[in-house]
Structure 1
Amino acid sequence: MSDKPINLVRLSTLVAVAILVGTELVGASWAAGWALGGLFQLDPLVSRAFEVVFALAGFVGLYFFMRTAIKHEPIRG
C-alpha cells in the first residue's frame, strides 16, 4: 500500500462515474432482459430470470469498467 494520501478530487470523480455509469449500464441491461421477456411472451418467472441474468451481466460490466477507471485515475497520488 502506498504512503501517499488519498486525493479526494479523484475519489469523488470515481464515485460520480460509478454512479452514472452503473445506473446506465445496469438499468439498460435490466431493461433488455425485460424487453426480451415481453417480446417473446415468456412466462413471468422466465422473464424475471432473464432480467436477473442481464442485470448481473451489467454489474460485471460495471466491475470491469471501474477496475479500468481506477487504473487510469488512481485514488492515491
Structure 2
Amino acid sequence: MRTPVSHYFYLTIAGHFHTKGLLDTISEIGVDRVLFSADYPYESMATASNWFDQALISEDDREKIGRGNVRRLFGLK
C-alpha cells in the first residue's frame, strides 16, 4: 500500500496569528497536521504564545498544535 502524499505535509502557524486562518487550516488539513511555531527573530515568541493561548480553539486542539503533533512527528516522549 502506498503512503498518500498528504502524509508528508505539515503546516505551521508562524506568521499567521489569526484565528480564522487557523480554523480554516484545521478545516482543510485537520488538526493533526498543524504545528505551533514563531518565525524568530522576525516574530516575537511572546506575541505568538499570547495569541495562541487565547485562540478560540478547543483545549484538545491547542495541546495537539502546541506540542502533541510535533512529539508524534519526531517520535518524542
How would you bin the TM-score normalised by the shorter chain?
Answer: under 0.3
**1 or 2, which has the higher helix percentage?**
1
Q: TM-score, normalised by structure 1?
A: 0.25
**1 or 2, which has the higher strand percentage?**
2
Q: TM-score, normalised by structure 2?
A: 0.25
- In our comparison, the structure showing a higher alpha carbon Rg is 1
